[in-house]
Amino acid sequence: MMVPVGTLVVLRGTPKSELLRATAFLVWPGLLAPVLAPLVGGAFTTYLSWHWIFLINVPLGLAAFIAALRLVPHKGGDAGRRLDWLGLALTTFGVGSLVVGLEGVGGHGAGAVPAAVLLAGALALAGAAWWMLKAKAPLFDLRVFATRTFRATSTGGFVYRLTISSVPFLLPLLFQDGFGWDPLKSGAMVAAVFIGNIGIKPATTPIIRRFGFKPVLVFASFASAVTFAACAALNAGTPEPLIFALLLASGAFRSIGFSAYASVQYADIVPGELPSANAVSATLVQLAAGAGIAVGALFLRLFDHVSFFGDGPSSAYRGAFLSMAAVMLLSTVDSLTLHRHAGAEVSRSVVGKATKPGA
């Protein structure tokens, strides 16, 4: 709940010309936290205990609480607007069921129950969409999907986030289960992705302004797919500097793609649709994060039962990373269908200046 509320506070006070710069700061937590977590978690489990993975949230929560009291402007809500309880219930049940069902489908001894949960989730989301299209005050204004640049976040952007979210889950498992590394060494190596995020961050905005959203999105997704395929070729004998360099590059491409999607989704959204666009985007981001881990686990379980990639301890991970690379290419294909000057009002790219941006 904190993420979409904080994002909306920023978006409402930011003109379109400064949106790219503002979202560059907004995506930092989403980029850094999943990658930094294995390093911190590895240190906790190695030197303290697993309990600290949960206890650390107490001081962090207190710090966030104090910061919210001091920094967030006090602005009253719309007293005349009622909460769409039916839309909320259907959406919550649908999203939760999809994640639970995806995780259960590949489980050992999984039967018809996970498939039924998946079906129930899909039906609930379909019912939510039907209701919100006819309700007077819906939970989300689904007309935001008529904007192509926003719709890209629910198609190619969703696939991009899903596959990217699987990496901080698969990499530590590969290093510990496949290579036999301890949690701290594994977390330290995964931190290379974090370094790549940070290293390229100052350049992401100039890159998007220079080339525009479409070329950047195509490049980021395709390059990420290449790094996933390269991860499938890793083994316990691969030189560690080479692994570090690969993860560094993967982090840089991850940062570029996240920044581009976070900016382009609001490029053509009018102010009145910002709350709905922001809420829908936050929902899809959380769904993609959960689904990424679930799909990664599903591929691991699938290739654990087949011998397509050998019988070694890391064979299942090769299949999982190659599968994720193939899924990522779907995002590349979707980005190729964007208008050439998509989001040019925000990117102010050299190419985009010549023509009025398309929706």
Give the mean model confidence (pLDDT) for residues 180-191.
84
What confidence tens digit (pLDDT) does each residue in 271-295 have?
777 777 888 888 888 888 888 888 8
Tokens of 202: 């100052």
Listed residue (62, 315, 336) closest to 220, CA to CA: 336
Tokens of 313: 């301890």
* Percent residues over pLDDT 90 in the chain: 16
At residue 274, the pLDDT reads: 78
**Averaged pLDDT of the chain:** 81
At residue 140, the pLDDT reads: 79
Q: In this structure, are residues 325 and 311 in contact, taking their beta carbons and an 8 Å threshold?
A: no
Tokens of 195: 């370094």
Q: Which of 35-49, 112-126, 300-314 has the highest mean pLDDT?
A: 112-126
- What is the rounded CA–CA span in Å between residue 225 and residue 324? 8
* Percent residues over pLDDT 70 in the chain: 84
- What is the rounded CA–CA span in Å between residue 41 and residue 28? 19
Which residue reads 């190729």 in tokens?
Answer: 336
Return the number of other C-beta atoms located less than 10 Å from residue 238's C-beta. Answer: 12
Which residue reads 């219930």 in tokens?
Answer: 89
Q: What angle do CA 319, 301, 168 make, to 5 degrees?
A: 70
Q: In this structure, are residues 334 and 159 in contact, taking their beta carbons and an 8 Å threshold?
A: yes
At residue 18, the pLDDT reads: 67
At residue 355, the pLDDT reads: 43
- What is the rounded CA–CA span in Å between residue 232 and residue 313? 13
- Determine the residue type at 294: A
Assigned CATH class of 2-70+143-354? mainly alpha
User: What pTM, to 2 d.p., does this model score?
Assistant: 0.74
Cα 214 to Cα 86, 175, 258, 260, 335: the distances in Å are 37, 35, 13, 9, 6
Give the mean model confidence (pLDDT) for residues 63-71.
87
Using CB atoms within 10 A of its CB, is residue 110 exposed (0-12), middle (13-18) or buried (19+)?
A: middle
Q: What are phi and psi of 337, to 5 degrees?
A: -85, -5
Q: In this structure, are residues 217 and 335 in contact, taking their beta carbons and an 8 Å threshold?
A: yes
- What is the rounded CA–CA span in Å between residue 314 and residue 328? 21
At residue 230, the pLDDT reads: 93
* Per-residue buried b or exposed e for 172-191, using 16+ beta carbons within 10 Å of the residue's own CB: bbbbbebbebebbbbbbbbb
Domain boundaries, the chain: 2-70+143-354, 84-138
Which residue reads 């978006």 in tokens?
Answer: 11
